[in-house]
Amino acid sequence: MRALLSVYDKTGLVPFARALRDLGYDLISTGGTQLDLEAAGLDVTSVATVTGSPEMLDGRVKTLHPAIHGALLARTDLPHHQSDLDAHGIVPIDVVVVNLYPFADTVADPATPFADAMEQIDIGGPAMLRAAAKNHDRVTVVCRPRDYDRVSDALRSGASTGALRRDLAAKAFSHVSAYDAIVADYLRDPAGAGFPAEYTVSGTQAMTLRYGENPGQAGTAYARRHAGSHIPGILDARQLGGKELSFNNLLDADAAWNIIRGLDRPAVAIIKHTIPCGCAIRKNLDEAYAAALAGDPVSAFGGIVACNREIDEATARSIASTFYEVITAPSFSAEAQSVLGRKANLRLLELPAARSYPVTPPWDVRPISGGLLVQQTDTAPDNAASWRVVTSRGPTDDERRDLAFAWQVVRHVKSNGIVFVANEAVVGVGSGQPNRLESIAIASRKAASRANGAAMASDAFFPFADNVEAAHAAGITAIVQPGGSVRDAEVIAAADEAEIAMVFTGTRHFKH
């Protein structure tokens, strides 16, 4: 019996190789893997000895040889395959242990020269994994160190079944597929026109969830991988306390974190079912939390709180008076942890709230029945200085400040999103409605008297002047919207009649 070992990640390698040797396997290896095994006192045959050919082209060619791939691909149950092996003096290989060059880690540094990145594209490793996985009826293929103990136990007990080998083969093909997806992502010109004819997504399982959106649905979470610097997300958070995170917790925490990460001053967002119940900016976090909670204290119950500053004791005590599922912040003071830690089920997540987005974020991918919808991620920054005042009256300084804040929040609100803001605090939100008038009505009801003198943001243009009339009836005095409707002139005239200041952004943030 023979085992071929050629790995970059040498975690657990020596104990696994020793287990294979104790089970009677002859070990074959290459390069650094061979040196590590020999340093551990194990007898190893070099691949060059097996192939009769030295490594070539600075190590680019070493395992690409019939003596290796014939030994992996041969079906020894077929007499003519065995005859070919005998004719060429090839001995079958029964176990393959391979993991790949760290291409993703290499290109994570934007300063990596293109030529250096190309050298980290593994060729022999994927070829061996694919060959062994294809022939898994006979060959055991291992690409992840976490499987070493499982495989050695199975081999030791004689329980290396077809089911086990098939499971390992699936992992090998997944590993190669994810690796190739990152290489393709790197080679794809981000400034190129259009989308690729074939698109793959690479991810690594980050955590297993108790269930999906509902108990009858299984669920898990994958960390998205791509070629380039790491893109932070909610799965990077460090959990300090509370029970395990659920599918819905992660969705809502992600939505909350994405709102506050775009705000410079102390800010708090409260999210329920991915919709902001409240969001506010103040001179300190405790005041921001109080203003955010006031936005919709009924809906806030059982929601998610996100802060863009360290949570101190005063803020923690304010938060502790309401039931929440998750609190996210860049950090928690020791006193805050002590206060919030008394709630056994409350999840505390530490996650930096950096404002900037990556230069080339991965595309936004959404599943539909039988397919995927792919689009560029809506991360373009908004420049209030480029907004166009379209009414006779321009916004006051205070109105302009509230309009800017409302526009930052509305980009995170679902379709036909409407946000009312007063004194840099959300006082009413309408979202996910089949028409914009319904959203304005919902926001008006939530804001009540707080809508008097408030600013309003709309994620898309107004199709009719009745939207402005409804906003005026609620007490709104300033509006920000993209513009671009065929009835813009009617909409502007309605705003002028109501003495509402209105600005057009020229861009929309419709979120379906």
Q: Which residues are catalytic?
A: 134, 273
**Other C-beta atoms lying within 10 Å of the C-beta of residue 257:** 26
CB contact burial 112-139 (16+ within 10 A = b; e otherwise): eeeeebeebbbebbbbbbbbbbebbebb
Read off the DSSP letter of residue 261.
Answer: T
Instruction: Give 50-88 as a DSSP string.
Output: HHT---BGGGTBSS-SHHHHHHHH--TTSHHHHHHHHHH
**Other C-beta atoms lying within 10 Å of the C-beta of residue 506:** 12
Task: State the number of CA atoms in the 13 A half-sphere of 299 facing the CB.
Answer: 21
Q: Which residue from 106, 148, 121, 134 is spatially nearest to 5, judged by alpha carbons?
A: 148
Asked if 249 and 326 count as a contact pair (C-beta separation under 8 A), the reply is: yes
Residue 459, φ and ψ in degrees, nearest 5: -70, -20
Instruction: Give 430-469 as a DSSP string.
Output: E-S-SSHHHHHHHHHHHHGGGGTT-EEEESS--SSTHHHH
Place of tokens 């050919």: 53
Coil, helix or strand at residue 145: helix
Q: What is the 3-state secondary structure (H, E, C) of 346-363?
A: CEEEECCCCCCCCCCCCC
Instruction: Give 216-254 as a DSSP string.
Output: TS-EEEEEEE-SSS----GGGPEEEESS---HHHHHHHH
Read off the DSSP letter of residue 275.
Answer: E
CA distances from 253 to 148, 247, 350, 418 (A): 35, 10, 11, 21
**Residue 194 contacts by C-beta under 8 Å, 6 or more apart in sequence?**
none
Q: What number of residues does the chain have? A: 512
Element (H, E) at 291: helix 285-295
**Residue 68 contacts by C-beta under 8 Å, 6 or more apart in sequence?**
4, 47, 50, 51, 93, 128
**Other C-beta atoms lying within 10 Å of the C-beta of residue 211:** 13
CB contact burial 422-450 (16+ within 10 A = b; e otherwise): bbbbbbbbbbbbeebbbbbbbbbebbeeb
